[in-house]
Structure 1
């Protein structure tokens, strides 16, 4: 699946092999797949993820500001739309069925692992350039695409989390992932040339990707700990 999201992502993913495995096969994820995840953990995760998506949307809006090309601008704008008008809507609808209103979601306290992750990504973008921000953003967007595609193929028929899985496995979200992956490839070539891994900047970009991946692991664990 990583190849569908571009060569840069595949390289970053390989450079973060251990945390990437821990992220994409976390016990929380496997609980979604086989249906064993406690509903309380899932709802606690959704509340925090709603808070996360607000900041994540701001980070993609920052990417729009830091763009150099029309392709970068279009992809950043499309991703903000997908986050604010689609993905956050799933959280609102799911939580509403369990008595949690949108106002309660918006007012929810941001827990420490969430705070650490969102501020890390925003700081990468504010203190760095477009590539620093993309390296920190990529694990969430593309990791959820990879997780969704795998779980759609492997999920238990009776898992109660089929709607969540379908959101990230469907053609619309996979199309966003492919567009983001292609855009990152173009951004890397535009700024670092044909041999980006030889650039002195490459290790910093890999470090951003790896750190953000570990923060994703912590985010899943936050959900499990709330059960």
Structure 2
């Protein structure tokens, strides 16, 4: 049932996880996103340069707000044990991943203006709004919801094509950044955080979290769609 509460959904299940409930509520959008044409073409090495350039420009425009979201999660985390993994991940995003973007931009001929002041596409603006709401949320659990979508969905699609080796480095390394043991361990930990915090929310807050999760998954699919659109 699409609107089934977490409590009702969990009843009778041997190991009910809040994140599994959220993902189930987001189907079939989740499957449509992780099996998207963008993923298939990237893995096969047939994704046009212009499509990858548009995608990366918009993804880089996502990064500043994403860093703020991580900072908010770090601030709201219950203790140092939870803050440390988030802080380590923030360090990866602002070092290895940031460096990847600039190397890819150079290879794809992306201009300085496109890198620093692009016209934001509708899904990118949607992501910014979702992240701003999560930063403004009062609870750790609510702040984690879009973060779990961003990381878990990327782990899912990248893992499914991890054995592919597209020739261009910016395709191959984009898979590798999201399909490696360290990232998988972080996503497992992140899901565990929401699995623990989510059930403590009031039922109406749980339903709101499910709506945010589904909307964020929908934006992920739209973000892939938009990469194939030449003009905004």
Which of 40, 44, 55 aligns to 2:50? It is 40
Q: Larger C-alpha radius of gyration, 1 or 2?
A: 2
Residues in 2 aligned to 1:215 and 1:158: alpha-carbon distance in whole angstroms: 26
Change (3 A) 1:109 1:158: closer
Question: How far apart are 1:118 and its partner, in Å?
Answer: 1.6
Aligned residues: 214
Could you say which residue in structure 1 is the equivalent of 2:60? Answer: 50
Runs of 4+ deviating beyond 4 Å: 101-104
Residues in 1 aligned to 2:50 and 2:174: alpha-carbon distance in whole angstroms: 15
Residues in 1 aligned to 2:181 and 2:113: alpha-carbon distance in whole angstroms: 30
**5 Å matches for 1:22-101?**
22-100=32-110
Gaps of 5+ in 1: 1-5
Change (3 A) 1:159 1:7: farther
TM-score under structure 1 length normalisation: 0.84
**Which has more helix, going by share of residues?**
1
Change (3 A) 1:71 1:207: farther
Could you say which residue in structure 1 is the equivalent of 2:217? Answer: 213
Change (3 A) 1:93 1:38: same
Residues in 2 aligned to 1:68 and 1:102: alpha-carbon distance in whole angstroms: 40
Gaps of 5+ in 2: 1-15
Could you say which residue in structure 2 is the equivalent of 1:3? Answer: none
Provide the aligned C-alpha RMSD in A: 2.3
